[in-house]
Structure 1
Amino acid sequence: MTATPFNEPQPYANEPFTDFSRQDEREAMEAAIAQAKTKLGRTYPLKIGAQMIETEPKIASVNPGNVNEVIGFVSKANQELAEQAMQAALAAFESWKRVSARERAEYLFQAAKLMRERKHEFSALMLLEAGKNYAEADADTAEAIDFLEYYGREAIRLSAVNETQPLVKIPGEENRLSYIPLGVGVIIPPWNFPLAICVGMTAAAIVSGNAVLLKPSSATPVIAYKFVKLMQEVGLPAGVINYVPGSGAEIGDYLTSHPQTRFVSFTGSKEVGLRINRLAAETAPGQIWIKRVIAEMGGKDGIVVDETADLDAAASAIVASAFGYQGQKCSAGSRAIIVEAVYDELAGRIVELTKQLQVGLPEHNFAAGPVIDSASYARILDYIDLGREEGELLAGGSKAPGNGYYIQPTVFGGVDVKARLMQEEIFGPVLALAKAKDWREAIEMYNDTEFGLTGSFFSTDEDRIAEALETMHCGNLYVNRKCTGALVGAQPFGGFNMSGTDSKAGGHDYLLLFTQAKVTSRKL
């Protein structure tokens, strides 16, 4: 299929979530899962320019909910192949940068249309590869569609900036501002939103006129390959997206340090993000620009609850924020800071809701599933052991049964604000509760972290809400709702401090990160 350029896009609206209370939708998802299982164990090549290249060794992508199932064997790039991909991207960039924004956007719109038609197909694969239940996988696919639709419209809007945001008029001169692409970039998405964030990061870069090398997470490379194949199906020119899974130490560092790399777009841990930032800051021989780093890193997000709050709503939001997708979200609310007047009552409600969460195989749509891999499993269990020293175990605290990486949703109470459980990102189903004497101290405790991604404040006092909105230091702050689930276009997403460069994905500023502004002046 080839894209049909210059269609006028419809007004933007978020992709609706699937209602799995409907029997037909549940059956459709079950059928998609069964179909996805017929493709287990296949091999997947690299995509470099127009070439599909098989390599040895390969990355084995394993179902974290059933470790006997291999989702696929994905070819692994080395430095030589990474260099070949760089050259393919550089060649493609020379023509792609001259394609109009409207035509580039049309590829995204066509991909969104096909992804919408195959929504359960994408979600089912993600459910198997990443361990998401129906709702989490469906939301991930919906967000991927949102990014394609939103960034396509944003590219069109920015291409008309001279008409929509005219410069000051000077007699006798014609002045214009345009946003031009940067060049070739490296896209390094995470495993926890293996479709949505992969699609969003890549789509933003290419619709702005750049060519990219996409290095997916080794935990979820098959869903990324499925996206690359979709873009090939809609006719995206060869070399605009090059698919190069591989080791971060071998090809990640190599490409980050490459003199022809113009930007690196990364989502992942603080430690890896800081390493990328450090490597990118070093000027390589032959490099003629300062590399741009777009980084969305970790979080130690929290929910503050005062004594005026609706405690039932607060308990539901805390449990949803802490344990949605097993706490494996950078926005996950892994801390709840509660004023002492309602601490015992609210802690009891949180524990009651947590104990209702059933753990099991994602394909059977349990509320809680596995964590992503053996390394995460071991690390999270170590934090649970630490939690027994730093707080009171209120719920969970053990492995959960199943042929995968299952851990009980775990709650610790009475945790000190300086404890590691309150300061370090765990990225798993572990919630720490802390007690504050009043709502202002609770906000101070919330701010006592090196991160600053998401937060939430529960109160019915408008003066307190106003102060919290001003003083809680994070990139995405919510009032009387959970601290996860930002929607594209409505809640641009990105954080402060060690949470990254506050890139605000899904917002009007985001494409500017993949462009540079050029002003031209002509004497009349």
Structure 2
Amino acid sequence: MTATPDVELSATGTIRSPATGSVAGTVRWTDPADVPRIAAGLREAQRAWEARGPEGRAKVLARYAVWLGEHRDEIEHLLIRETGKSAIDAAQEVPLIIMIASYYIKTMAKALAPEKRPAPMPFLSIKRIEVHYRPRPVVGIIAPWNYPVANALMDAIGALAAGCAVLLKPSERTPLTAELLLRGWQDCGAPEVLALAQGAREVSEAVIDNSDFVQFTGSSATGVKVMERAARRLIPVSLELGGKDPMIVLDDADIELAAHAAVWGAMFNAGQTCVSVERVYVLESVYEQFVDAVVRDVEKLRTGAGEGGDFGALIDENQLAVTERHVADAKAKGAKVLTGGRRRPGPGCFYEPTVLVDVDHSMLCMTEETFGPTLPIMKVGSVAEAIRLANDSPYGLSAAVFSRDVERAKSVAVQLDCGAVNINDVISNLMCTTAPMGGWKASGLGARFGGPDGIRKYCRQEVIVSPRTSIGAGSTYYSNSPKALKRMNKLLTRLALIGPRRAAK
């Protein structure tokens, strides 16, 4: 995910819409010196929150999910003002969070229940072995600007379910939505285990310095800095970073479906999605048909914030400049612009939906994360070439493969170096709450939400070994005579070798 430069912040700030320049609201920035005090308050409140147990916490999370649903219009209107999203893009965030919350409300008790582990050898069957999941007191979440609701709460919900307190640092470009989300938590009568730290780099550093676990979403370069700072205190991190997601269109694909998916996957949220379709590799025999279908779809798209637009504004001039630079670089190196290719005339940070062909890996649009409404399409001569080029990237977040033969598509999917592959679809893995969402290579470390690990990641494992019986307790303490030692070593070796000898046959 593309990072934006640090900005100097005064005590209060005015947030303006990137679509119109009008004032979206004001925010009071957090003094970094206050972060330790905020974290200490969370740490104190977390004890009672953990003590409620999964069932008690589930009731609170359920009330919060209901509040989100009942205030969806208010949240989405603020999203549009603050980010310049289209109404259809803004409409995606709250339902996703309610879906994630619903999953964890139903499954958190089972996910956090102590696990019984079998004895490794028969003579240890006198012991009862259990693994308990204990929450880390304070989880720091440093969230980006592209999805102010989803990217904050998809992590916060899991941490709160685990029994942690959450210190949320939203992007300094989208702080207003976070204020509303916190108000909702308070309106539900929830305990004070969710707090905000508003600001830029210095506040982020203070959050890392005062948390027990850090979830960061942002650029790969900033992710390295987050991990380095967390390493000073040996606290764990989970990083969801940049992406340059490939899409492969095989020669037996449903071309109309593939084209629709590519356009939506590339242009949704103005391309400002970590799992956007950022490059497409199409087999030569269907290349012209695919390109024609894509151009036809793209030419129907309308840019604009709120109602009536298919996608909205880029977040600011910096992000628009990245898109312009990538398109200019591609054109200078021989690429053709089939539609779009320029900033939309008039106010706001809008860029026309752009289709690029005759592209290759010498171009920035194929190798660097654009995070804008562009769709570069490359012709390939074979499936092997498509796989090689798709993997020729420092990133590995997700990918897509299109083919009418699902098994054939799967055989391609398992050769792609990334955290998730969608077959005959794009981005849909984000809705699969039972599966982990994470990237390989420079796209991240660990996974975000998904399955029981989406809760357990915020926990420490505590092993408790208890006796099943008092028989034999203490009988081997200090039995260190030569005869006893020889007898014990012989017995232990014989017992330990039972499994290997059986497996070796």
- The interval holding the TM-score normalised by the smaller chain is 0.7 to 0.9
Look up the SS of the partner of 1:364 in the other structure: coil
Alignment of 1:350 onto 2:294: yes
Look up the SS of the partner of 1:174 in the other structure: strand
Alignment of 1:168 onto 2:118: yes
Q: Which amino acid aligns with 1:517?
A: Q
Displacement of 1:60 in angstroms is 2.1
For residues 486-506 of structure 1, what are the alpha-carbon distances to aligned partners after superposition, in whole Å with 9 as ceiling and x for unaligned?
A: 204255322111111140423
Q: Residues of 2 paired with 1:329 and 1:91: CA distance?
A: 36
Look up the SS of the partner of 1:227 in the other structure: helix
Displacement of 1:463 in angstroms is 5.3
Displacement of 1:81 in angstroms is 1.4
Asked if the contact 2:244/2:393 (under 8 Å) is kept, the reply is: yes
Q: Residues of 1 paired with 2:216 and 2:291: CA distance?
A: 36
Cα-Cα RMSD: 1.9
Tell me the residue number matched to 1:12. Answer: none
Tell me the residue number matched to 2:177. Answer: 223
Q: TM-score, normalised by structure 1?
A: 0.83
Asked if the contact 1:319/1:353 (under 8 Å) is kept, the reply is: yes
Alignment of 1:469 onto 2:423: no
Q: Which amino acid aligns with 1:98?
A: A
Of the candidates 219, 225, 232, which is equivalent to residue 275 of structure 1? 225
Q: Residues of 2 paired with 1:281 and 1:333: CA distance?
A: 33
Of the candidates 254, 260, 264, which is equivalent to residue 214 of structure 2? 264
Asked if the contact 2:111/2:452 (under 8 Å) is kept, the reply is: no
Tell me the residue number matched to 2:59. Answer: 106
Q: Residues of 2 paired with 1:421 and 1:56: CA distance?
A: 36
Displacement of 1:324 in angstroms is 0.8
For structure 1, the 5+ residue unaligned runs are 1-54, 284-289
For residues 392-444 of structure 1, what are the alpha-carbon distances to aligned partners after superposition, in whole Å with 9 as ceiling and x for unaligned?
A: 11111111134211110111111113422111001011111111111221111
Alignment of 1:304 onto 2:257: no
Q: Which amino acid aligns with 1:275?
A: K
Worse-superposed segment, 206-215 or 152-161: 152-161
Alignment of 1:209 onto 2:163: yes
Of the candidates 43, 64, 78, which is equivalent to residue 31 of structure 2? 78
Look up the SS of the partner of 2:306 in the other structure: helix
Asked if the contact 1:305/1:439 (under 8 Å) is kept, the reply is: no
Q: Residues of 1 paired with 2:418 and 2:91: CA distance?
A: 27
Q: Which amino acid aligns with 1:94?
A: R
Asked if the contact 1:148/1:199 (under 8 Å) is kept, the reply is: no
Of the candidates 315, 324, 331, which is equivalent to residue 268 of structure 2? 324
Asked if the contact 1:475/1:502 (under 8 Å) is kept, the reply is: no
Asked if the contact 2:422/2:428 (under 8 Å) is kept, the reply is: no
Q: Residues of 1 paired with 2:130 and 2:405: CA distance?
A: 49
Alignment of 1:451 onto 2:429: no
Displacement of 1:171 in angstroms is 4.5
Asked if the contact 1:417/1:434 (under 8 Å) is kept, the reply is: no
Asked if the contact 2:439/2:447 (under 8 Å) is kept, the reply is: yes
Displacement of 1:84 in angstroms is 1.8
Change (3 A) 1:174 1:414: same
Asked if the contact 2:340/2:354 (under 8 Å) is kept, the reply is: yes
Tell me the residue number matched to 1:421. Answer: 365
Asked if the contact 1:175/1:519 (under 8 Å) is kept, the reply is: yes
Worse-superposed segment, 461-470 or 79-88: 461-470
1:429-444 matches, within 5 Å, as 429-444=373-388
Displacement of 1:96 in angstroms is 2.7
Look up the SS of the partner of 1:333 in the other structure: coil
Q: Residues of 2 paired with 1:198 and 1:504: CA distance?
A: 11
Asked if the contact 1:327/1:430 (under 8 Å) is kept, the reply is: yes
For structure 2, the 5+ residue unaligned runs are 1-8, 470-505
Displacement of 1:159 in angstroms is 3.0
Alignment of 1:359 onto 2:303: yes
Q: Residues of 2 paired with 1:56 and 1:324: CA distance?
A: 33
Tell me the residue number matched to 1:131. Answer: 84
Displacement of 1:97 in angstroms is 2.8
Alignment of 1:371 onto 2:314: yes
Alignment of 1:254 onto 2:230: no
1:161-200 matches, within 5 Å, as 161-162=114-115, 166-168=116-118, 171-200=125-154
1:59-74 matches, within 5 Å, as 59-68=13-22, 70-74=23-27
Change (3 A) 1:433 1:72: same
Change (3 A) 1:515 1:92: same
Asked if the contact 2:270/2:313 (under 8 Å) is kept, the reply is: yes
Worse-superposed segment, 173-182 or 400-409: 173-182
Displacement of 1:161 in angstroms is 4.1
Q: Residues of 1 paired with 2:238 and 2:194: CA distance?
A: 18
Q: Residues of 2 paired with 1:182 and 1:160: CA distance?
A: 16
Look up the SS of the partner of 1:520 in the other structure: strand
Displacement of 1:379 in angstroms is 2.1
Alignment of 1:155 onto 2:99: no
Worse-superposed segment, 170-179 or 386-395: 170-179
Q: For the pair shown, which has the larger CA radius of gyration, 1 or 2?
A: 2
Q: Residues of 1 paired with 2:174 and 2:206: CA distance?
A: 21
For residues 87-139 of structure 1, what are the alpha-carbon distances to aligned partners after superposition, in whole Å with 9 as ceiling and x for unaligned?
A: 22222233333221211121111100121122222222212212222222221
Aligned-pair identity in percent equals: 28
Look up the SS of the partner of 2:431 in the other structure: coil
Change (3 A) 1:453 1:183: same
Tell me the residue number matched to 1:388. Answer: 331
Q: Which amino acid aligns with 2:229?
A: L
Asked if the contact 1:71/1:129 (under 8 Å) is kept, the reply is: yes
For residues 319-359 of structure 1, what are the alpha-carbon distances to aligned partners after superposition, in whole Å with 9 as ceiling and x for unaligned?
A: 01110111000000010111122212211221121111111
Q: Residues of 2 paired with 1:56 and 1:397: CA distance?
A: 37
Q: Residues of 2 paired with 1:433 and 1:418: CA distance?
A: 14
Worse-superposed segment, 274-283 or 294-303: 274-283
Displacement of 1:227 in angstroms is 0.9
For residues 438-463 of structure 1, what are the alpha-carbon distances to aligned partners after superposition, in whole Å with 9 as ceiling and x for unaligned?
A: 12211111111111111111112455
Of the candidates 427, 433, 437, which is equivalent to residue 493 of structure 1? 437
Displacement of 1:194 in angstroms is 0.8
Displacement of 1:477 in angstroms is 0.3
Displacement of 1:484 in angstroms is 5.3
Change (3 A) 1:382 1:418: closer
Tell me the residue number matched to 1:234. Answer: 188
Of the candidates 128, 145, 163, which is equivalent to residue 98 of structure 2? 145
